[in-house]
Each structure stands twice: as structure tokens, then as C-alpha cells.
Amino acid sequence: MKAISQQDYDDAQASLGQAKANVAAAKAAVESALISLKYTKVLAPIDGVISKSSVTEGALVNAGQADVLANIMQLDPIYVDVSQSVDELLQLRREMLKGDVAKAESAKVRLVFDDGSVYEHEGSLQFTEVGVNESTGTVVLRAQFPNPDRLLLPGMFVRTQLDEGVRTNSLLAPQRGVTRDRLGNATALVINKEGIVEQRQLKTGRAVGDQWLVLEGLAVGDQVIVEGLQKVKPGAPAKAVTATASKAGE
């Protein structure tokens, strides 16, 4: 109707636009405040046990600060880092290339505590580091273990038994039947087919329970003397009697 001047109309429209802009700015401030409020509740990306808090209630903290609020440790599952010497790793891979040892399809890991007890849950090998520690000459292997009872704690020292390969058609000799000479070489007294005692030079590998892994020196069917070693000598006749196997040897 042109009841007011054009100037008054333009001023009213400008005031309306300014009011709408103020409302939008206020809504944005509310949204920003809600986002900041959500940041005051810190959610952990993992499940675990939290350590003591590094700050007290009411202390001022900032986003991206260097000091952590607390440490959260994942306990189930838990990782165990194992160090293996490069010499052992190279020997294992050489034996795999020659076919003496077959690679295990899924490497299983067992834990042994300081008191000699074995952890009831079996772990699995996750990966092997590609680099070698120059100061120690070892490679780090990481295994993952279930820990439902939380017996394993971060920083705990344990010993591991890792099955990286499988040696088939191998011989085990009781440790009580294997002796060492002055040079540390392994020897064993064996009764041959003629019933005569003879001394064998052995090449042994690692210990498997209460037995030695024999790489050279024995064949299937050889009778190793494990008792009465003080009473027999190489070249003397002897009669073999089957010894009672221990539970670990069975």
C-alpha cells in the first residue's frame, strides 16, 4: 500500500534479516556447546583396566595436551613379546629349506611361569619382526593369548614354548641315558644286535621334556642303556631289559 516510506521498509527488512542471522548464530553456538560437552566424556577405544588418574577432579585439561589422563591396559586378549636369536632363526629356516623341518601351519605358543607351571591357555603367533636388534642380535616375535582370568599382567616375565616348525621321523633319547665327555660331546651306551655294549657319539638338538632330540648317532631299534651305566663298559656283553618310561617320556 506504500503506507510507509521505502526507507522505513528497507530498515525493517534489514532488522528482520539481522534477527534471523542472530537466531542461526545462537543455534550454532548451542550445537558447538553440545559438541564440546560430549568431549568432556572421554571414551576408550579398547576394553581393559584403567590405571590411576594423572589429574584430579576439577583440574584444567586441554585437547591435545602432552600429559595423559590415565593409561588403559588391554588384558583380554593380551600380547606377549618374545625374543629369538638370529642364529636359531637362521638354523630353523635352513632346515626348512632342506626339508628336515616342515613349517607349522599355525604356530602355537605356550607360556611357562617362573614357578614352572604352564599357562592353561594356548596362544597364537601374530607376526615376526623383519628387523634385527643390533645390540642383542635377536628378533621380536609377538604372540596373542586369551586372558579371561587376568592371570597375565603387563610387564610380567614369562618363558615361552613356540612351535614354529615340525620335525618328522625324529628320534628322542632319554636324558639319563646320554652323558657328556670332557669336550661336551654327547655319548650313549648302546647294546647292538650281538648283545655287545658299544659307545656311540651323538649329535643332539634341543631338549623335549626329559629327552634329547637326537640328530645323528642313533637309529630306530637301538637299545640305549639308561640304568646301571657304572656297571657296563664298551665291548662287554649285556642283556637288555626294558626300562620303565617316565610320564614325561611317555
One digit per residue, pLDDT tens: the chain, 250 residues? Answer: 778 888 989 899 999 999 999 999 999 999 999 998 887 787 888 888 888 888 888 888 887 788 888 888 888 889 998 888 888 777 777 777 777 666 666 678 888 888 888 899 988 888 877 788 888 888 888 888 999 888 888 888 888 887 777 777 778 888 888 888 887 888 888 888 888 888 888 888 777 778 888 888 888 888 888 887 777 788 888 777 887 765 444 4
C-alpha cell at 48: 581393559
pLDDT at 248: 46
Distance between CA atoms of 161 and 110, rounded to whole angstroms? Answer: 5
Q: What is the pLDDT of residue 250?
A: 45
Q: Check: CB of residue 73 under 8 Å from CB of residue 48.
A: yes
Q: Extract the C-alpha cell encoding 58.
A: 576439577
What is the sign of the dihedral through the CA atoms of 63, 65, 71 and 76?
positive
| Interstrand relation of 78-85 and 72-73 (parallel, antiparallel or unpaired) | unpaired
SS3 labels along 84-131: EEHHHHHHHHHHHHHCCCEEEEEEEEEEECCCCCECCCCEEEEEECCC
